[in-house]
Structure 1
Amino acid sequence: MTHDHDLVLRPTPAQTEAALNPPPGRGGGDLVVETLAALGATTVFGLPGQHALGMFDALRRSDLRYVGLRVENNAGFAADAYGRITGEAAPLLLSTGPGALTSLAALQEAAAASAPVLAISSQVPTTGLGGGRHGYLHELPDQAASFRGVVKSVHTVRTPSQIPSAIEAAWKSALSAPHGPVWVEVPQDVLLAPTAIPVVTGGDAFPEELPPRPELTAVAADLLSKAARPAIIAGGGVIRADASKKLRRLAETLQAPVVTTPGGKGAFPWTHPLSLQSWIEDRHTTDFLEDADVLLVVGSGLGELSSNYHTFKPRGRIIQIEADLGKLESNHPALGIHADARLALQALLETVTEREDPTAPERVRALLAKVAERIAAQELALEQDVLASVRRALPADSPSFWDMTILAYWAWSAFDAKGPNHMHSAQGAGGLGYAFPAALGAAVADPTRPVLAVSGDGGALYSIAELATARQYGLNVTWLIVDDGGYGILREYMTDAFGEASATELTRPDYVALAESFGVPGVRTTPENLEQDLAKQLASPGPSVVLLPAVLRMFAPTHLD
């Protein structure tokens, strides 16, 4: 009897001839780029460095497109966004020590948001591995240890023949649910070593699936079918699993209202009769979810933001579908289903019983009216008008990337993403400087659509160097910078907590003049002209900067009502 796993694909005569006669002048770096290409990669991000030159030299002999940024952390953010937009593992090529470590904050964001980033770093020569201090430039006692608490998996290569298998294993790890960043490191001498290993032409690029346990989905389906007031929280796992259509079908079958977390923006249609939108930080929404007798949580760990800063106290039964085992029941007891959101939702669709509930849309309308009334009472017309202007200016199918700034905090709750995988922010790890370099990565992934980046003036200074990258590659990114003279959200936090703020005020450049010095068009706008100016720049090819001097305020902390 022959088993499928016993079958071996035999090389063709042409493949055999090519394998026996590899082209001259190849080294370990060529094995890196050949393996990436064989796995399906077309684009790599990164920065060169002394130990990594073997990889970057090999790029000359490959068909891979190289996009070089100016700071390793920004290269990581660009790869993160490329992975989110394409669903592919985004290669990130880095050098040893300082170059590698500078990417850590970006990899933390990728891990928190389940973005598939394949980071490949050089290392000191193999004689320097395993501890000790050999005096190599960039040397760390244990470079991999710096990444183990951040990435999904770490792979250290010690010989050229290990390179294809290590990269293939990392690739599959990055794309297996939950998606996430992975780390491969290759010593300098291995990258430079001449090799007669045949050109890498194939690899198993298919990640492992994570199906739900059938006995658990049977119980979940029974609970949901019999529920009197079911509700659904949809998180970023729905987006990463490309499961938005299945989520909608299940919500309609159950007549269950749906709220999306900041990471799940766009997972459910904003104007759907069952849509609670994204007001997950509103006390009225929290009350509504607490009142559900069965609450289905899909692709969310019910962390700080999605639990309204841990004030959420559910009274009903929770069913949690989560691909990240560490997040399963980490904040609330639940019927925990460790699974990819797409596969679990499909299993539920096949087993639930259709519910009739004509009151569900009515309850949704009442809840949204309460939210609107509450926000209207806070006299925040400027903030709502600015956000509405951004929404009208941005084409419906264009992605947007938001830094940790007051307008982004508004957008988490009040912005209609117009579709899944359209709105992205740094709310996973919460670091500054995400928006602009991430938007550049998205523009590389899909040059047919303009991309919007939104930053405050504080966050903008983290990534201002990437204006050179935007100009060099002619990327279609419009960068909206809201200039309030400092770290606006921290100013508010400190004033509320201590009566006054310190260390929040910033001297900043003339952003319009600075953009123009990079050859990037810049325009200074006002809240009244924002929609027109932003739309004009988004419609123009290439990068641009729109500066909005404005002091915006947050809506009141809803959990303190």
Structure 2
Amino acid sequence: MRQTGGTALARQLALDGVTDLFAIPGIQLDWAFEGLRQCRENIRVIVPRHEQATSYMADGYARSTGRIGACMVVPGPGVLNAMAGLATGYACNSRVICIAGDINSGGRGKGVGLLHEINGQTEILAKVTKWQGRANAIAEIPAVLHEALQQAASGQPRPVAFEVAQDLLNVEDHIPLVDTPLVSNFPEPEKLAVEKAAQLLNDASFPVIYVGGGALATNASGPLGELAERLDAPIVMGENGRGAVSDRHSLALNALGGRAVFPHADVVVVVGSRFVDTQVGKPAWPSERARYIYINLDRSAWNPPRRADVAIVADAALGLKALAAAVARRPSVIAADLVRVRAWSDEQANLIQPQASWLQALREALPDDGFFVNELTQVGYLGRFHFPVYGPNTFITPGYQGTLGFGYPTALGVAVGNPGRPVISLNGDGGFGWNMQELATARKYNLNVAAVIFNDGHFGNVRTMQKDLFGAEFGADLCNPDFSVLANAFSIPYERADSPGRLTSILRSAFAEGGPSVIEVPVGEMPSPWHLMRLQQPPFAKAPRPPPPNPLGDPADRAPIER
């Protein structure tokens, strides 16, 4: 077929099943956008207001739908602006492709100062992607793009990059497309490793399963529940694993509940998690007594200082399915104990006020299948473990990147991929300032996202930690817009919630109406929840009072469970 490189790019995307593309036009991409115009019946192009939003939106789209999220930016500053979203996607096991324009081929590597030129763009992209491909001739565009999408669909879920020079997009030639379906290829779990793991679990008195984001990225909820039920084992979900099973499941626990069961554990199955304290780089729960089984595609997940007694190199779903088939079924006796553990966890979390009440209000307003995009803010920190989650991929976090400001554009990507389903974007006034211009995107595409902005006039967590550490705050105060005027400027409905009950009512009305909304919640200083947020209390966190005794008692005093 005779076509331009830009048309071939658009047609190959459509042929490979990409239906939505988050992109901002620019001179190096003019011919690609002309190709997309010709393919507009097959590919919807969403144009946000900042390149940072393209990659965040692609990430939210990918994690909430299970499909590949695609973004496209100009070279140089466009790529650099998109790096934050790509880094978050890398941290969160996200199947994203970044299509990056480049300067004219003749100027590449010569440093002559062409528009948007930066030194080593491919090497820069390599820092936040698992695979990089470049079309060096016009005829290569479809094949290299197809391979990039194949890489995104297979193996470790992480972003990939495809680069194409400006001059290859505007030339016309005979350019064959690649009409081969994308295939998700994953290695089968090694039989011997599965057998060793099964033997450890069959001999265990108190097995525990710990779940990270890898279980969600590989749709492992079914096999996870099956293994837990066969083992009668608690499922402790880290913040990135929330929703791997419903919080209503009789074996489900959050990280705080994990503090009660981990001292009793003699075998721990770590699924799709790096299992590390991201502040200090130590194992999330180090124990000389426990034996550890890791299920992960990434072999670095059990590198020192972690220890794997058995490592199953596999997609989480395949590894869990194989292990569930290999273990013996146990009688169900642990559920009553876990009821006490959940009450013990709730007792401590509900002391963190007003955050706990605001979270309850948000949950009451959101349908079970609605999405909650959690930001770095005082309400959101408690929400990492205390916001109830009832379905996989409905609770979206920035992972270990901790990317302030990721939330609102990511929520917009979630809404694009899941039309009709409500999305709450939880924000502090500090983080919302990163991407408040994307209110224009929400309005333009009428996206069903409620931006809930907790406004204390500060970077609230910075202020809290500065006061705890130094007795004074510095540089944490903010100059905010009038959010009612800001929302009105984009023709978006605005409401102010002065109580949790009012917040629930406003959200229900907003979701019934559909489309974007802005809800401001004025708040003051809040107590820190950091002492509760992980399996172990972080060294910098101060608990206001001693925790209640472990509801399961001391491991030394507990009689073995009769199986």
TM-score scaled by length of structure 2: 0.91
Match of 2:207 in 1: 230
Alignment match of 1:285 (pick from 255, 258, 262): 258
* d(CA) in 1 for partners of 2:474, 2:448: 37
Structure 1 equivalent of residue 427 of structure 2: 455
Is residue 459 of structure 2 the alignment partner of residue 487 of structure 1?
Answer: yes
Establish whether residue 164 from structure 1 lines up as the match of residue 146 from structure 2: no
The farther-off stretch of 364-373 and 43-52 is 364-373
* Per-residue Cα deviation, 1:260-283 (whole angstroms, up to 9, x for no partner): 01111111221222222x2x2x3x
Residue aligned with 1:44, SS: strand
From the superposition, tell whether residues 447 and 438 of structure 1 become closer, same or farther in structure 2 (CA, over 3 Å): same
| Matched AA of 2:29 | A
Give the alignment partner of residue 368 of structure 1, picking from 338, 342, 362.
342
Contact 1:35 1:203 in 2 (8 A): no
Say which SS state the counterpart of residue 417 (structure 1) adopts: coil
Q: Distance in 1 between matches of 2:191 and 2:499?
A: 53
> Cα–Cα, structure 1 residues 364 and 30, in superposed 2: closer, same or farther, change >3 Å?
same
How much has 1:304 moved relative to structure 2? 2.1
Give identity over the alignment, percent.
32
* Partner-residue secondary structure (3-state), 2:391: coil
Instruction: Name the CA distance, whole Å, in 2 between partners of 1:307 and 1:98.
Output: 33
Amino acid at match of 1:468: A
Q: 1:299 aligns with which of 272, 280, 284?
A: 272
Question: 1:178-237 deviations in whole A, cap 9, x for unaligned?
Answer: 211111110110111112224x26133113213211110111111112210000101111
Q: What is the TM-score normalised by the length of structure 1?
A: 0.91
Instruction: Tell me what 1:80 maps to.
Output: 59
Counterpart in the other structure of 2:116: 138
- Structure 1's 330 and 165: CA in aligned 2 closer, same or farther, altered over 3 A? farther
Give yes or no for the alignment of 1:204 onto 2:192.
no
The code of the aligned residue for 2:151 comes to: S
2:322 counterpart SS class: helix
Distance 1:119 1:533 in 2: 37
Alignment correspondent of 1:476 = 448
Q: What is the letter of the counterpart of residue 167 of structure 2?
A: D
> In the alignment, which of 37, 48, 62 is matched to residue 60 of structure 1?
37
Query: 1-side partners of 2:282 and 2:477: how far apart?
Result: 27
Residues 1:343 and 2:313 aligned together:
no
**Against the structure 1 CA distance between its residues 139 and 74, is the aligned structure 2 distance closer, same or farther, given a 3 Å change threshold?**
same
Alpha-carbon separation, structure 2, partners of 1:373 and 1:525: 26
Aligned to 2:375: 403
Task: Specify the SS of the correspondent of 1:183.
Answer: strand
SS in 1 for 2:346: helix
C-alpha separation in 1, matches of 2:499 and 2:49: 32
Segments of structure 2 that go 5 or more residues without pairing to the other structure are 544-563
> Any idea what SS the aligned residue of 1:102 has?
helix
**Cα deviations across residues 136-168 of structure 1 (Å, max 9, x unaligned)?**
111112111111121111112111111112111
Deviations 1:368-411 (CA, angstroms, capped at 9, x unpaired):
333233345xx433211110000000111111212211111111
Paired letter, 1:303: V
Give the aligned partner of residue 114 of structure 1. Answer: 93
Distance (whole Å) between structure 2 residues aligned to residue 368 and residue 307 of structure 1: 27
Of residues 78-87 and 105-114 in structure 1, the stretch that sits farther from structure 2 once superposed is: 78-87
Distance 1:306 1:500 in 2: 23
Could you tell me which amino acid in structure 1 is paired with residue 116 of structure 2?
H
The letter of the residue matching 2:419 is: P
Match of 1:511 in 2: 483
Q: Which position in structure 1 is the counterpart of 2:557?
A: none
Q: In 2 relative to 1, CA 302–214 (structure 1 residues): closer, same or farther, beyond 3 Å?
A: same
Give structure 1 stretches of 5+ with no counterpart: 1-18
Provide the rounded CA distance (Å) in 2 between the counterparts of 1:309 and 1:456: 29
Q: CA deviation at 1:357?
A: 5.0
Q: Which letter maps to 1:338?
A: V
CA distance in 2, matches of 1:137, 1:375: 53
Cα deviation code 1:270-309 (max 9, x no counterpart): 1222222x2x2x3x63352143100001110112259997
Of residues 70, 73, 98, the one that matches 1:91 is: 70
* Cα deviation, residue 497, structure 1: 1.6
Show CA shifts across 1:86-137 (max 9, x none). Answer: 21211211101001110001000000001111100110111122x2312211
Match of 2:414 in 1: 442
Match 1:352 to one of 327, 345, 359? 327
For residues 299-338 of structure 1, what are the structure 2 equivalents within 5 Å?
299-304=272-277, 310=283, 312-314=285-287, 315-334=289-308, 335-338=310-313
Structure 2 Cα separation of the partners of residues 384 and 263 of structure 1 = 20
267-276 or 434-443: bigger deviation: 267-276
Match of 2:553 in 1: none
3-state DSSP class of the match of 2:441?
Answer: helix
Matched, 1:549 2:522: yes
Residues 525 and 533 in structure 1, CA contact (< 8 A), matched pair in contact too: yes
What CA distance in whole angstroms lies between the structure 1 residues aligned with 2:188 and 2:430?
A: 43
Q: 1:462 to 1:309 in 2, by over 3 A?
A: farther
**Residues 373-388 of structure 1 mapped to structure 2, 5 A cutoff:** 373-376=347-350, 379-388=351-360
CA contact (8 A) 1:177 1:324 kept: no
The residue matched to 1:272 in structure 2 has which SS? coil
User: Could you report, residue by residue, the CA deviation over 1:334-353 in whole angstroms, capped at 9, with x for unpaired residues?
Assistant: 12222100100111121111
**AA of the residue aligned to 2:235:** V
Alpha-carbon separation, structure 2, partners of 1:108 and 1:416: 27
Please report how far the alpha carbon of residue 310 of structure 1 lies from its aligned counterpart in structure 2 after TM superposition: 4.8
Name the CA shift for 1:375/1:87 in 2 (closer, same or farther; >3 Å). Answer: closer
Q: Does 1:244 align with 2:221?
A: yes
Which secondary structure does the structure 2 equivalent of 1:195 belong to? strand
Q: State whether residues 74 and 100 of structure 2, in contact with CA within 8 Å, keep that contact through their aligned partners in structure 1.
A: yes
- Tell me which residue corresponds to 2:231: 254
2:262 counterpart letter in structure 1: L
* Matched pairs, number: 529
AA at the equivalent of 1:196? H
> Relative to structure 1, is the Cα distance of residues 237 and 556 closer, same or farther in structure 2, using a 3 angstrom cutoff?
closer
Residue 179 of structure 1 pairs with residue 157 of structure 2? yes
Q: Does 1:540 align with 2:513?
A: yes
The equivalent residue for 1:13 is none
| Closer/same/farther in 2, CA of residues 247 and 64 from structure 1, 3 Å limit | same
Q: For residue 117 of structure 1, what is the amino acid of its counterpart?
A: V
2 CA distance for matches of 1:124 and 1:27?
A: 17
CA distance in 2, matches of 1:354, 1:305: 35
Letter paired with 2:72: L
CA contact (8 A) 2:143 2:178 kept: no
Q: Which residue of 1 aligns with 2:128?
A: 150
| Equivalent residues of 1:290, 1:316 under 8 A apart | no
